[in-house]
């Protein structure tokens, strides 16, 4: 391995090399078994004599840090001072730069957001937002990716178009055209790193700091955190049984973020009347609408409502979706379909953000969709999620004295409301479910302001049918016993 050594002056050069290599071994930057550069090479790179390095190596060897074997060179030994895990130790925090965030990083409700690493291996995992990772066709996916790693696939190894891999954009346009009735040209599709980056690009292309952004209350926290971090004024707007209450939108909102297919987290779809009202409002107020269609591929019953994108006659809607639910969250691919008037600005925003999303995964995903494997996986998962959804609804429907589930027909989570007056914060849920093997989210977590109602947001992406009844029983036991 290469070792960075900083030499000062011309005094005690051997001592300087000795101390810095020793420090690198002790603090874990160099691990037992790693080999050090040969003395001649190291001396040349440091512009010192070979003897200087040899003396330092000999001293370290004498102290048991290094060993030299003929033919194998010099390498680091196990030593009582080496860290077994080889994990570099953090230095003490220093005074220096302080973050200047425009949002409150200590907000308790953001505690659980963005920290699902690694996913807890729980038996009764009702955490929201996770698909079933265990049913993903990893072998097939590996084949798709390895094909892109051949020299014949040289294009996916270079820099690509900021808009995304052309084959993937075409595959996306075909998929959403058929499955969601979002009829579009691949030239209007931009591939992003998950839905979250699509929101970021929309803000960069359409907004100025200080602009007003309206979001659903309760709603999905990451977009509002993002908008605040960019200096936008975020106004939460109430949702009722029909979805976002358009009549309560602030008149100066430049952007409205909604989840019409499956309101996050409550679960009901936005009514057709409300959709039309929102589109008319946006046209009248010269505002943009982000339609986050994050999990609508998993629809179990009834006709899906028309998307805002297809109902829109005024070029106001940015349609966003993700492969985090249909494939894997770790794939970090999503997409954005925008009106032609803003597409060039979005492409420029993507270019300055990170140029393009990883091309190897894009090319593999294009092939996965084109070969019909994506549709097959969705069909399989829809069947699975549908059984889980039905079972949870059936069990909870018999327990209306305790919770009242909101009727939903799509997605991988549902919300069950608790009786009025019952307080249940995120901390309460965590405290009560600790040691029960159950994970679940409190509805409170998704409010920006004061929570208007208490409830549980029950994800079923990560819990298999055989565990559901017992998981709900435990949940009731700990929460009712509270």
Ligand X SMILES: Cc1ncc(COP(=O)(O)O)c(C=O)c1O
Residues lying near ligand X in the complex (CB under 6 A) are found at 129, 194-196, 220, 259, 264, 292, 294, 322, 324, 329, 334
Q: Which is nearer to ligand X, 334 or 471 (by Cβ)?
A: 334
d(CA 156, CA 443): 42
Q: How far apart are CA 348 and CA 235, in angstroms?
A: 27
Q: Sheet containing 253-258: give its strands across.
A: 189-192, 334-337, 317-322, 288-292, 253-258, 212-217, 233-240, 243-244
- Which two three-digit tokens encode residue 399? 């327990």
Residue 57 C-beta-side C-alpha neighbours within 13 Å: 20
Residue 463 has what DSSP assignment? -
42 or 368: CB nearest ligand X: 368
| CB of residue 67 to ligand X, shortest distance in Å | 48
Which residue carries 């079923």 as its tokens? 460
Phi and psi based region of residue 207 (left: phi greater than 0; alpha: psi -120 to 50; beta: remaining): beta
Distance of CA 408 to the CA centre of its chain: 24
Mark 238-254 as b/e (b = at least 16 C-beta within 10 Å): ebeebbbebeebeeebb
- Quick one: 194 or 305, whose CB is closer to ligand X? 194
Q: Which is nearer to ligand X, 156 or 324 (CB)?
A: 324
CA distances from 170 to 32, 166, 306, 307, 436 (A): 50, 6, 22, 20, 47
How far is residue 15 CA from its own chain's centroid?
48
Separation between Cα atoms, residue 244 and residue 225, nearest integer Å = 19
- Which residue's CB is nearer to ligand X, number 17 or number 290? 290
CA angle 124, 397, 478 (to 5 degrees): 40
For 97, the token pair is: 């730069």
Tokens 């970021």 correspond to 200
| Nearest distance, CB of residue 238 and ligand X, angstroms | 17
Q: Which is nearer to ligand X, 17 or 426 (CB)?
A: 426
Instruction: Give me the residue whose beta carbon is nearest to ligand X.
Output: 194
CB 465, min distance to ligand X, A: 22
Give min distance, CB of 300 to ligand X, in A: 18
Least distance between ligand X and beta carbon 324 (Å): 3
């Amino acid at each position: 391995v290469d070792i960075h050594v900083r030499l000062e002056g011309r005094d005690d050069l051997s001592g300087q090399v000795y101390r810095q290599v020793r420090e690198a071994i002790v603090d874990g930057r160099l691990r037992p078994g790693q080999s050090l550069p040969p003395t001649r090479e190291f001396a040349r790179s440091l512009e010192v004599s070979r003897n200087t390095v040899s003396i330092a190596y000999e001293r370290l060897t004498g102290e048991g840090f290094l060993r030299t074997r003929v033919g194998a060179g010099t390498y680091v030994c196990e030593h009582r001072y080496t860290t077994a895990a080889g994990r570099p130790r953090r230095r003490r925090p220093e005074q220096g730069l302080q973050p200047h965030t425009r949002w409150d990083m200590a907000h308790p409700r953001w505690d659980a957001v963005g920290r699902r690493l690694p996913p807890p291996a729980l038996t009764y995992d009702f955490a929201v937002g996770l698909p079933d990772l265990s049913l993903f066709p990893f072998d097939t996916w590996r084949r798709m990716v390895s094909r892109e790693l051949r020299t014949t696939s040289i294009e996916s190894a270079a820099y690509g178009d900021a808009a995304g891999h052309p084959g993937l954009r075409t595959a996306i346009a075909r998929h959403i055209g058929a499955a969601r009735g979002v009829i579009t040209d691949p030239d209007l599709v931009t591939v992003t790193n998950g839905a979250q980056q699509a929101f970021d690009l929309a803000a960069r292309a359409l907004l100025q700091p200080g602009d007003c952004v309206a979001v659903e209350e309760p709603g999905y926290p990451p977009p509002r955190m993002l908008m605040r971090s960019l200096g936008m004024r975020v106004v939460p707007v109430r949702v009722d049984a029909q979805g976002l209450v358009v009549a309560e939108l602030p008149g100066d909102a430049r952007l409205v973020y909604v989840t019409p297919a499956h309101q996050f987290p409550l679960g009901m779809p936005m009514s057709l009347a409300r959709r039309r009202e929102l589109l008319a409002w946006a046209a009248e107020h010269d505002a943009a609408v982000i339609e986050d269609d994050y999990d609508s591929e998993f629809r179990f019953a009834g006709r899906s409502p028309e998307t805002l994108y297809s109902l829109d006659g005024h070029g106001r809607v940015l349609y966003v979706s993700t492969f985090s639910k249909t494939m894997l969250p770790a794939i970090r691919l999503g997409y954005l379909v925008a009106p032609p008037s803003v597409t060039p600005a979005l492409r420029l925003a993507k270019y300055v953000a990170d140029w393009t999303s990883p091309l190897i995964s894009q090319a593999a995903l294009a092939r996965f969709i084109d070969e019909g494997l994506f549709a097959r996986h969705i069909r399989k998962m829809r069947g699975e999620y549908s059984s889980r959804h039905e079972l949870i609804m059936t069990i909870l429907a018999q327990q209306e004295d305790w919770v009242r589930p909101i009727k939903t027909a799509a997605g991988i989570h549902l919300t069950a409301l608790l009786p009025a007056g019952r307080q249940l914060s995120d901390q309460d849920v965590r405290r009560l479910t600790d040691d029960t093997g159950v994970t679940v989210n409190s509805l409170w977590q998704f409010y920006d302001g004061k929570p208007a109602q208490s409830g549980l947001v029950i994800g079923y992406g990560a819990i298999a049918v055989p565990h559901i009844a017992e998981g709900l029983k435990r949940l009731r036991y700990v929460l009712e016993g509270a």
